[in-house]
Structure formats: C-alpha cells, structure tokens
Amino acid sequence: MRAVVITSGGSFRLEDRPDPAAGPGEVVVRVRAAGLNAADLQQARGDYPAPPGWAADVPGLEVAGEVERVGSAVSGFSTGDRVMALVGGGGHAERITVPADLLLAVPDGLSWQEAGGFPEAFSTAWDALITQAQVHAGDRVLITGAAGGVGTAMVQVAAISGAHTVASVRRPELHDEVTALAPDGTHVDVVTPADEARHGPYDVIVELVGGQDCLDRVSLLRSGGTVLVVGVQAGATVPLRMFDLMLVRGHLIGTTIRGRPPAEKALLADQVRTAVLPSSPTAACGSPWTRPSPSSSTPGDMPGSQARGSSARSSSPADDIALPRETRCTARNARPGPDHRGVPDRDLGRRSALLVGCVLFGGEEVGDAGR
C-alpha cells in the first residue's frame, strides 16, 4: 500500500508500506479519505508523537473508508461496510488497522470527504463540552476561535445542548456565517474578543486558540465556572493570575484525546455513535453537521499528492482558527432536545464538503479531495 510518511526533516513523502493485518478485535479499513489536522503538522515537527500502538511516522488522526478485512472476534461490522474513525495515527495511508470499538458507521448520504473529516472535530467537541465541562441547558458558554474547525463543531454541540452560546470570532466578516450555525430553535451570539466581557459571566469558557492573554478570561467566569483548554495554536505558554481563579472558585481543565487509553477512546466512540450520529430511528433531535473545506494547502513535501480543500478564505490561528486552516460548518433544521440525540438520516444528504484538509485514496491518484 501507499502511505504518506514523515521524513527525518519533518516533510512528507509517499512510500510503499506492507499491507496491515487485522487482529482478533480489529478491522482493516480501505481508506477513502483522511482528514489533515494541526496535530499531523505538530507530529511532523516532533512535538506530538503518536501514542504506542500506532504508526510513528505516518500522520492522520481521522479516516473514512470501507471495511476490507474483519478480525475473528469482531461482530457488528462486515466486509464492505462504510465506516469512519478517530485513530491514533496512520490514517494517511491506503489501509489502516483499526480496533473495531472505535468504528462509526458512515450514515447514508455522507460523502467520503465529509466522513473523513467528521470524527476529530465532533468527537473533540462532544467530549470537551458534554463529558469534561458537563454543559447543561441554560449554561452560558463562551467559545473562542469559533470560526475554526473544532470551533464550529463546538458552537453546534453547545447550542443543541441548550446552552446560551457565545461565539468569539475576531473577524467581523465571518460573524454572519457563524451565526448561521445555530440550529433551528437555538441562538448563538457572535462577538469579537473585545465584546466577550459584555456577554458574561460564563459557566464554561472553551479556549481553542491560546496566546499570551487567553487566561485573562478567568475573570469572566461565573462562580464555580470552568475554563477548558482544547487548543493552543497561538501560544501554549501563558501567565495566569491564580488569585483570579481563586476568587471565582474556578476550574481549569486541559484535555486531549489522542493519548488516552484504548478503553476511554472506545467509550468516547460509543458516545458519538449513540448521541451524535443517527444510529437508530429514536434519535430525537436533528443537526446536519457539516464542515465546508477551507483554502487550498499542501503540507510539506508530498509528491503526487496534496492535502487540499475547496477554495475559500485563508486564515491563521490569530483569525480564530484552532487548526492551521479555517474550517466552517453549517447546521440547518436542528431541533434541541434534552437527551442530546443526533443527526437524523433524512437530513444527512444536505451536508457539504467539510475537511480541514483531505488526503483521498480513492483509486490510482492521491489528490484534491475537498472539491
């Protein structure tokens, strides 16, 4: 098989690698699309190594494709099934071995490009907001970097959960588009960073950008509130006035998913499977989650391939992007419900292209997957 490999100099190239095998509880997925995320570029720089058990030199944290081989202990999946998954690495290859308990069925109507970019953003958003911060209906939630890939997923998950959602977006020309993310029956206030204080205090503040002043937002917390650090692309070393945190009896939580034990990842996959995706007709509220692709880009040296999205605006972490390229999503006709149930099958065909970047392995070419 072909795989995108990180070189000793931190660039990318295509190489031939042996085809993977499936252990008893695993499947081999024939990859059709794989998302390109900031973590892949951090891994190439040597800052974010893959966890044990995953390819150390092949990037790719999220994949979509067809089940090609099934381990002897696997039930519920068969050869030819369309699946997607959040993985620890190795996704930028034509095939990958994935533990079966990480697999999500790709709903009917979802393209490979959409499925390939879904797991990372929405798994991160669901885990951060619902599991870590325990957001409930009526909470006031501030999301920084809300025009970014994870940010747009956060906006939708917070809104559909019944929270009063405030999205901080530095660029005014993006405000209308972020406002449009609010599912029917919900509302999102979109503000610039300078106006964040006027909409506080907050029960939960999600930090997706980082930077020198990001923890100054501790002063915007309601008593007993939480600052949740999910992204730090604009700067990871910042001062904190600890007395401010003490005064509000606040909580400061940092979170990642990649290095978690397999059992925790399997639990998160099950939560996304049952609460976000339309795994059964009982899904009570709908949200056709989407993440349209951003500006074209080629990461490093990748002969014969590009990680690209459809033409849109270029951007940077300072422009409210938690990932290296802007990714936006649109949710239409979502209906809030107390059980946080997810996306009805009837709405999924209304999605549009979504990847932060995409490497598409759909035949003889590895090329533009975002158009």
181 pLDDT band, cuts 50/70/90, is confident
What is the C-alpha separation between 367 and 347, in angstroms, rounded?
Answer: 28
What is the C-alpha separation between 66 and 106, in angstroms, rounded?
Answer: 10
Does residue 139 register a pLDDT over 70?
A: yes
pLDDT for res 71: 96
183 pLDDT band, cuts 50/70/90, is confident
In a domain, residue 99? The reply is: yes
Does residue 206 register a pLDDT over 80?
A: yes
In a domain, residue 110? The reply is: yes
Average the pLDDT over 225-253 and give the result.
74
Torsion sign (Cα): 224, 230, 234, 237 = positive
Question: What is the residue type of 85?
Answer: A
SS3 content of the chain, % helix, strand, coil (to 5): 25, 20, 55
In a domain, residue 249? The reply is: no
358 pLDDT band, cuts 50/70/90, is low
CATH code of the domain in which 34 resides: 3.90.180.10
In a domain, residue 344? The reply is: no
**Residue 127 corresponds to which tokens in the numbers above?**
């885990």
Average pLDDT of the chain? 75
Does residue 355 register a pLDDT over 60?
A: no
pLDDT for res 360: 59
Does residue 163 register a pLDDT over 90?
A: yes
| Domain enclosing residue 46, as ranges | 2-119+260-279+294-311+352-368
Does residue 316 register a pLDDT over 50?
A: no
In a domain, residue 49? The reply is: yes
Q: Domain total for the chain?
A: 1
pLDDT for res 232: 64
In a domain, residue 345? The reply is: no
Average the pLDDT over 58-70 and give the result.
96
Average the pLDDT over 199-224 and give the result.
83
Average the pLDDT over 203-215 and give the result.
79
pLDDT for res 222: 87
**Residue 364 corresponds to which tokens in the numbers above?**
């003889």
What is the C-alpha separation between 271 and 146, in angstroms, rounded?
Answer: 23
CB 203 within 8 A of CB 222: yes
pLDDT for res 241: 75
In a domain, residue 12? The reply is: yes
**Residue 182 corresponds to which tokens in the numbers above?**
């609010």
Does residue 253 register a pLDDT over 70?
A: yes
DSSP notation for 335-355: ---TT-----GGGGGG-----
Local structure of 178: helix, strand or coil: helix
What Å distances lie between residue 195 and 144, 199, 201, 217, 323, CA to CA? 12, 7, 12, 12, 23
In a domain, residue 101? The reply is: yes
Q: What is the reported pTM?
A: 0.75
164-168 and 140-143 beta bridge pairing = parallel
Does residue 2 register a pLDDT over 70?
A: yes
280 pLDDT band, cuts 50/70/90, is very low
